[in-house]
Amino acid sequence: MAKKIRILCIVGMLAALALVVGCKSSGGDDNVQTETTDAPDGERKQQPVTPMPTTDPAIDYSDRDASDMSLKDAYSEYFPIGVAVNSWQLEDSTTMDVITKDFSTITTENEMKPDYILDHDASIKAEDGMPEIATDKMDEIMSMAEDAGLKMRGHTLVWHSQTPDWLFYEDYDISKERVDRDTMLKRMEEYIKKVLTFCKEEHPGVVVAWDVVNEAISDNQGGGYRTDSPWYEVIGEDYIEYAFTYARKYAEEGTKLFINDYGLNGKDKRETMYDIASGLFERGILDGIGMQSHHDMGLVVDDVETSLFMFAQIKGINIQLTELDIHNNDNSDTALAEQAELYGNLFELLLYMDKNGYADITGVTFWGLNDENTWLTGHRKETSYPLLFDKDNKAKPCYFAIYDALKES
């Protein structure tokens, strides 16, 4: 992607964002930086937006060999590269070798979600009436990560999905009434306290980031809060603020706390995320925005750029791509080359933003190791080929395109 054209785009983008952010902060939010800046090449930001260039012609990757390459090493100067895994993959030494060659962080795809950690029987029996957790699996996973020198992103504490219904009911019994707000806040605090205290005391230094609140923003036009979450229903919209307050209180010092969501390249969700994150960041209880980044072949990299620019207006905020994949139902050479171009362009953008200080990108995690194990095949109800490696853990064209982005940017 030609740098000059990108600079011109940035010039226009800054102007547009200054306008949007300026309007949105008219209520007197003086933490938001709205001052005008010169473009890197000295051109004024009033420059009209120039269309992004078309992508490079398809490159033939067929004779490339990834065995001596390592994405985590290649990107170490910029940001860690991570991957979502399941414990069986960590237990398998061949798979573990594949993981540790290219990735320095892992996220458990499911096993650190409330559904997997909360212990129903123990919660019912608890004398203080507070939720109890089962730590065996988490302990095992964290030990394996520790032994392999991998850091972890914790995923996730407060979410409407993969969280047992019983958590929200009296006596943890769904045939009874929902509990009141105060009880639910106590349960939330206790859950967060138990999970984070376990991590801090048993495996200090392993979990470096937590997705504290996941998918809190509505998909409806206009964005706003997701109102069909039991957390929202029982506590109200300040459940997010409480979750971050408790997470900060109990997390190990230095653990970065994220709000995480999908669809953040759309205008409404992007703006809602900006509003929520800027308030929490200002109060010191949030460190970053996680952009899940579940894309498909229609990905428009310019839209990612707009979001990165907007979020980076919150000065000092971390931005991570936390669940990256590009859904693609075609395993032909042509489709894989197109997918490689998209991945390459996306990483050129990330590098460009990070290198030039336009955004503090502090991590990129792929949502799965290889095409055989992707969640998308189930979720999309069609076979998907979204990831860096094929079913035999052979590097796909997109792997090399991401590698080559380092030369281009």
Quote the tokens at residue 253: 């010092």
| Interacting residues of 140 by C-beta distance below 8 A, sequence separation 6+ | 87
Q: Is 189 one of the binding residues for ligand XIL (CB under 6 A)?
A: no
Between CA 360 and CA 288 the distance in angstroms is: 10
Radius of gyration, alpha carbons of the chain: 22
In one letter, which amino acid is 256? Answer: K
| Interacting residues of 56 by C-beta distance below 8 A, sequence separation 6+ | 1, 341, 344
Does residue 127 carry a catalytic annotation? no
Instruction: Report DSSP state, residue 366.
Output: E
Contact yes or no for 224/267 (Cβ under 8 A): no
Question: Please, what is the minimum distance in Å from the beta carbon of residue 258 to ligand XIL?
Answer: 11
Contacts with ligand XIL, 231-250, as mask; x by CB under 6 A: --------------------
Q: Which residue is nearest to ligand XIL (CB)?
A: 375
Number of chain residues interacting with ligand XIL (CB under 6 A):
6
Question: Could you say which of 132, 271, 305, 323 is catalytic?
Answer: 323
Between CA 14 and CA 18 the distance in angstroms is: 6
Between CA 134 and CA 143 the distance in angstroms is: 16
Q: Is 323 one of the binding residues for ligand XIL (CB under 6 A)?
A: yes
Contact yes or no for 319/311 (Cβ under 8 A): yes
* CA separation, residue 78 to residues 356, 359, 360 (Å): 11, 12, 9
Q: Is 214 one of the binding residues for ligand XIL (CB under 6 A)?
A: yes
Question: Please, what is the minimum distance in Å from the beta carbon of residue 262 to ligand XIL?
Answer: 6
Q: Which is nearer to ligand XIL, 123 or 214 (CB)?
A: 214
Instruction: Of 364, 369, 336, give the one whose Cα is nearest residue 350.
Output: 364
Q: Is 293 one of the binding residues for ligand XIL (CB under 6 A)?
A: no
- Using CB under 6 A, pick the residue from 102, 109, 189, 404 that binds ligand XIL: 109
Between CA 243 and CA 184 the distance in angstroms is: 11
CB atoms within 10 A of CB 88: 9
Does residue 91 carry a catalytic annotation? no
- Using CB under 6 A, pick the residue from 356, 375, 380, 406 that binds ligand XIL: 375
Q: Which is nearer to ligand XIL, 323 or 348 (CB)?
A: 323
Helices (H) and strands (E) in the chain — how many of each? 15, 11
Q: Is 169 one of the binding residues for ligand XIL (CB under 6 A)?
A: no
Question: Could you say which of 215, 271, 305, 348 is catalytic?
Answer: 215
- Using CB under 6 A, pick the residue from 50, 55, 87, 110 that binds ligand XIL: 110
**For binding to ligand XIL (CB under 6 A), which residues are involved?**
109-110, 214, 292, 323, 375
Return the active site residues.
Answer: 215, 323
